[in-house]
Amino acid sequence: MKKLFFLFATAMLFAGCSGPKEVKEYNQGINIIPTPVELTRQDGSFTLRKSTHFTANDKEAQKVARFFAEKLKASTGYELQLADGADNAISLTLTKGMEPEAYTLDVTPNAVCIQASTASGLFYGMQTFLQLLPAEVESASLVKTVDWTAPCVSVKDAPRFHWRGFMADAGRHFQTVENVKKQIDVLASFKINTMHWHLTEDQGWRIEVKKYPRLTEVGAYRTEGDGTRYGGFYTQEQVKDIVAYATERFITIVPEIEVPGHEMAAISAYPNLACKGDTLSPRVVWAIEDWVMCPGKEDMFTMLEDIFAEIAPLFPGEYFHIGGDECPKDRWKECPQCQARIRKEGLTATKEHTAEERLQSYVIGRVEKMLNKLGVTKALDCSAISKADENNIRNFTNAVVYDKPLGFSGRDEDYIYGRFAIANLIILIWANKFSPGNYKLDSFFSDRTMVVFKDNDPENNEPHPITHYVLLSEKDFIDA
């Protein structure tokens, strides 16, 4: 009798252990970021089990399935296979007629069905499904304290913005390869498709250039105020690895090599890049440095050509950012070689622009042509229109401009509207100043017009770091 009671008690104990587990507060409800276009809650839930499998109707769909099978294995311990059969399956189906990154997701008690016209759409549909599961699904180690259930829903979703981006500033704060990959994983989970990688700054040069080893031997490290040595850089092989890692997650990396300002780290490594060959070291404080590259020297352009020839092939995307902003020109005014360049190129002052401002536009235009020769179709720069030569900038294929020049007292649209014929335009706007109808830019709106929202405009009118990118259509911009 005692033995029978012991067996009964043991059975009840195990039955209790296998019952529903406590749902944490943060796992309650439906929490999908970004919010889908349409979501309808249905009755019931789907439970992910060891026996759950993937089905896929195409090689690209199979690649997406294998990616998420590997990801789910880490937290659930389940080894989900590709197999036939609709019951207890996660079905990934490539079909026709949907927008490039759009998807539909249907979760029923018996199956999960995702349809899209592209592999990226299937990828985003799976990211939405993962957000329906307990948050512990993102764990890199096995979790046994949750039930892997997702509420039944029907979702129709497509991105509002073509360009959904994030800026990683490695120039000032170096991140290890491991941490860059962690950041990419987070971006992918929120369907971000672009990472702007800021690789050079006054405070550090972060990418290997084999022809110029001192860029990383000297320029990648600075001595902090407490005497510690800080820095690091990425080898070209590491860059290839990170780019491939991002590509697998449908993220394009846009590199930035800043010219002609914000290059004190490079000048520290190769002093001849500056107007005077003084011995310097990478900057240890922020703000804007007046030591800049010398466009009067042909050697500067030769070195940039060599640098871009090594770096551009590492990034298969169509964009390459070349900085172009915040370049003090006092040293150019005093530099005989810069003044000789101004005379040679006919960059005389106009009513709107100084000769040195036109010299900066000359630099940006010439660098863009370097990149075009290397297959980069869209070289981006941040030259404010107020600091650039209007005649030169009209000839650029791509440009990044501030919403209006500092001190301009008229209406924003009067300054920008109709003045520039730029195929790929990026407009930087203070987030607290944006409102519908403020900017009438229909004369050059296209699917390549991008608006970058920055932090709120501070009192001193100094630009804040870019926080995020969005790509707007004309309708979005006017009617947002």
DSSP 424: E
Tokens of 255: 């590199």
Angle ∠(234,236,238) on CA atoms, nearest 5? 60
Give the CA-trace dihedral at 244, 168, 395, 267, to 10 degrees: -100
Buried b vs exposed e over 220-253: b needs ≥16 C-beta within 10 Å? bbbeeeeeeebbebbeeeebeebbebbeebbbbb
CA distances from 395 to 5, 47, 201, 362, 377 (A): 89, 58, 27, 11, 14
Task: Kindly report the number of other CB atoms within 10 A of residue 31's CB atom.
Answer: 11
Phi-psi region of 433 (alpha: psi -120 to 50; beta: other; left: phi over 0): alpha
- Answer for the pair 439, 412: CB distance below 8 angstroms, yes or no: yes
Provide the token pair at 87. Answer: 């019951």
- DSSP annotation of 433: G
**Active site residue: 101, 289, 326, 357, which one?**
326
Tokens of 231: 């820095």
Per DSSP, helices labelled H in 312-432 are 330-334, 336-345, 355-373, 390-393, 412-416
Residue 45, class by beta-carbon neighbours within 10 Å (0-12 exposed, 13-18 middle, 19+ buried)? middle
Rg of the chain, C-alpha, whole Å: 27
Q: What is the DSSP letter of 26?
A: G
Using DSSP's 3-state secondary structure scheme, residue 448 falls into coil
25 is an active site residue: no
CA–CA gap between residue 220 and residue 350 (Å, rounded): 39
Nearby residues of 440 by Cβ (< 8 Å), 6 or more positions away? 413, 417, 478
Going across the sheet that includes 319-323, the strands are 378-380, 319-323, 252-259, 194-198, 164-169, 466-471, 450-454, 424-430, 398-402
CB 135 within 8 A of CB 27: yes
**Helices 119-132, 59-76: inter-axial angle, 10-degree rounding:** 20
CA 412-418-421 angle, 5° bins: 125
Look at residue 286 and give its three-state secondary structure.
coil
Catalytic site positions: 326
